[in-house]
Amino acid sequence: MTDVTLKEVSKKFGSFQVCHNIDLDIKAGEFITLLGSSGCGKTTTLNMVAGLEDSTSGDILIGGRRVNDLSPVERDVAMVFQNYALYPHMTVAQNIGFTLKMRGVASAIVREKVQKLAASLELGHVLERFPAQLSGGQQQRVAIGRALVREPRIFLFDEPFSNLDASLRVKMRTEVKELHVQQSVTSIFVTHDQEEAMSISDRIAVMYRGGVEQFGSPEEIYAHPASRYVASFIGSPQIELLDGILEMSNGATFLRAGQRALPLHIDQGNFKSGRAVEFGVRPEHVRMGDTGIEGRVQMLQPIGPATHVTIDTAAGTFIASVPGFLRVKPGDNVKVEIQASDLHVFDKETGLRL
Ligand SMILES: Nc1ncnc2c1ncn2[C@@H]1O[C@H](COP(=O)(O)OP(=O)(O)OP(=O)(O)O)[C@@H](O)[C@H]1O
Ligand SMILES: [Mg+2]
């Protein structure tokens, strides 16, 4: 098992800074995800670990050894690319088994490994076909198989499920996670799908504009987002962020939101009367009850296990996620309860958590 460390890794293309000061300490056997929207530098970061792209500055260590000057082969990583390319003149079985064959592994063993992997990737029935005779999703699974069949020190996955339909994506997610549980190969996985990242990762690095906003467990990132960006990127439905002002009254701290003051427990060091903030509450923490802030139902969105209810109040508009289907209708008067401990508060200017 191998650890991977990135120390202040930066990358410029010409004068364009794509990644800046990326620090990641990935433990041996850990499965981490780089999560972020398109263009934030995920592929570039992965390529620098793989050795396909030079970093402009900083150190990359694999198993404690600086690898900046090593070739991809010397780094012993297996990568599934965002734009995978299969060998067009080889069958599925040959594509998957190619690297093993090149290493001189006996053909009976190659065949056995390929068959086992193909079965779990639902490719067993197309092993003798050529890539041009496969659907996009099948081609992508061949590319995944080609990486998985090796036993590298590190797996790098760049949006490996992007061509798969929704149900297969979830299935492949389970497959990759299971494989990781069995083999514990250190893995770096790239996705822009927050649910995929949450479900598969030991830790998630949320990237924004070439930097890492937060690196933590799914729970840390969800329950204690370090910034406004992380709070709104993670979670579905998205957390609504509202404007507020910190206030002190009779020695107690409050959050002034619209025409309401909400009780707020906040670190004394962060409290400054009149400080402009943005705040939000996760939809499952917005409770509809008999007490609380009066509001009016604006919209209902049932999704099966829960209904998302948009509620206008004097403190702003909240979205509540309530289990099951609801009897309320748009226009109904309801009350909204929010616990002080469920408020996420961010400095208006810096966007950082208070
Ligand atoms: N070879 C290059 N030359 C110049 N700019 C590049 C090059 N490769 C990437 N970029 C730019 O660097 C930024 C980050 O690109 P990158 O491919 O790492 O993003 P990403 O997070 O993987 O996005 P996506 O989710 O769309 O794949 C983008 O603005 C991109 O246009
Ligand atoms: Mg990319």
Atom of ligand 1 nearest to the CA of 14: 4
Q: What is the CATH number of the domain that holds 215?
A: 3.40.50.300
Atom of ligand 1 nearest to the CA of 190: 22
Token match 């200017």: residue?
349
Q: Do residue 155 and residue 271 come from a single domain? A: no
Nearest CA to ligand 1 atom 29: 39
Q: Taking 80 as the threshold, does the pLDDT of residue 191 lie above it?
A: yes
Atom of ligand 1 nearest to the CA of 19: 14
Q: Taking 80 as the threshold, does the pLDDT of residue 194 lie above it?
A: yes
The mean per-residue pLDDT over the stretch 173-179 comes to 85
What pLDDT is stored for residue 26 in this prediction? 98
Residue 352 located in a structural domain? no
Residue 39 located in a structural domain? yes
Q: Which residues are near ligand 1 (CB < 6 Å)? A: 13, 16, 18, 36, 38-44, 82, 192
Q: Do residue 178 and residue 258 come from a single domain? A: no
Q: Do residue 93 and residue 220 come from a single domain? A: yes
Q: Do residue 248 and residue 176 come from a single domain? A: no
User: Of 177, 206, 230, at which residue does a domain stop?
Assistant: 230
For residue 131, how far is its CA from the centre of ligand 2 (angstroms)?
23
Residue 298 located in a structural domain? yes
> Measured between alpha carbons, how far is 36 from 55 in angstroms, rounded to an integer?
20
The secondary structure of 233-244 as a DSSP string is HSSSSPPPPEEE
User: Of 230, 259, 275, at which residue does a domain stop?
Assistant: 230
> Measured between alpha carbons, how far is 47 from 260 in angstroms, rounded to an integer?
50
Q: Taking 80 as the threshold, does the pLDDT of residue 82 lie above it?
A: no
Residues 102, 76, 149, 170: what is their CA dihedral angle, to the nearest 10 degrees? -150
What pLDDT is stored for residue 336 in this prediction? 94
For residue 237, how far is its CA from the centre of ligand 2 (angstroms)?
24
* Strand boundaries in 166-315, DSSP class E: 186-191, 203-208, 211-216, 242-249, 252-257, 260-263, 276-281, 287-289, 293-302, 306-313
What pLDDT is stored for residue 259 in this prediction? 85
Residue 354 located in a structural domain? no
The pLDDT tens digits for 300-325 are 999 999 999 999 999 999 999 999 99
For residue 211, how far is its CA from the centre of ligand 2 (angstroms)?
15
Q: Do residue 226 and residue 250 come from a single domain? A: no
Which of 42-51, 73-82, 318-327, 330-339 shows the lowest mean pLDDT across its residues? 73-82
Q: When comparing pLDDT for 289 and 187, which is higher?
A: 187
What pLDDT is stored for residue 264 in this prediction? 86
Q: Do residue 69 and residue 200 come from a single domain? A: yes
Q: How many domains does the chain have?
A: 2
Q: Do residue 287 and residue 182 come from a single domain? A: no
For residue 207, how far is its CA from the centre of ligand 2 (angstroms)?
12
The mean per-residue pLDDT over the stretch 181-192 comes to 92
Ligand nearest to the CA of 44: 1
Ligand nearest to the CA of 42: 1
> Measured between alpha carbons, how far is 119 from 331 in angstroms, rounded to an integer?
53
Q: Do residue 254 and residue 332 come from a single domain? A: yes
For residue 125, give its domain range: 4-230
Q: Do residue 205 and residue 279 come from a single domain? A: no
Q: Taking 90 as the threshold, does the pLDDT of residue 180 lie above it?
A: no
User: Of 204, 230, 256, at which residue does a domain stop?
Assistant: 230
> Measured between alpha carbons, how far is 85 from 132 in angstroms, rounded to an integer?
11
Contact 179, 144 (CB under 8 A): no
For residue 175, how far is its CA from the centre of ligand 2 (angstroms)?
22
Nearest CA to ligand 1 atom 7: 13
Q: Which of 18, 19, 22, 82 to mutate to test the pocket of ligand 1 (most atoms within 8 A of CB)?
A: 18
In the 8-state DSSP scheme, what is residue 227?
B
Q: Taking 80 as the threshold, does the pLDDT of residue 298 lie above it?
A: yes
Residue 353 located in a structural domain? no
pLDDT bucket at 179, cuts 50 / 70 / 90: confident
Q: Taking 90 as the threshold, does the pLDDT of residue 258 lie above it?
A: no
Residue 35 located in a structural domain? yes
What pLDDT is stored for residue 353 in this prediction? 94
Half-sphere exposure for 152 (CA within 13 Å, toward CB): 24
Q: Do residue 203 and residue 318 come from a single domain? A: no
Contact 206, 353 (CB under 8 A): no
Task: Strand 242-249: give its sheet, edge to edge.
Answer: 260-263, 252-257, 242-249, 276-281, 343-347
For residue 39, how far is its CA from the centre of ligand 2 (angstroms)?
7
Ligand nearest to the CA of 47: 1
Residues 74, 78, 82, 85: what is their CA dihedral angle, to the nearest 10 degrees? 90
Q: Do residue 10 and residue 61 come from a single domain? A: yes
Q: What is the CATH number of the domain that holds 317?
A: 2.40.50.140
| Percent of the residues in the chain that have a pLDDT greater than 70, as a whole number | 100
Q: When comparing pLDDT for 65 and 289, which is higher?
A: 65
Residue 237 located in a structural domain? no
The pLDDT tens digits for 111-160 are 999 999 899 888 999 999 999 999 888 898 899 899 888 888 999 999 98
Q: 297 has which bridge partners? A: 311
For residue 33, how far is its CA from the centre of ligand 1 (angstroms)?
17
> Measured between alpha carbons, how far is 280 from 199 in angstroms, rounded to an integer?
23
Q: Which of 77, 62, 56 lies closest to 24 in space, CA to CA?
A: 62
Q: Which of 304, 306, 263 lies closest to 281 in space, CA to CA?
A: 263
Q: Do residue 173 and residue 253 come from a single domain? A: no
What contacts 65, CB < 8 A, 6 or more positions away? none
**Tokens at residue 144, please?**
């995944």
Average pLDDT, the chain: 93
Residue 25 located in a structural domain? yes
What pLDDT is stored for residue 166 in this prediction? 86
Token match 């906040």: residue?
266
The pLDDT tens digits for 8-66 are 999 999 999 999 999 999 999 999 999 999 999 999 999 999 999 999 999 999 999 99
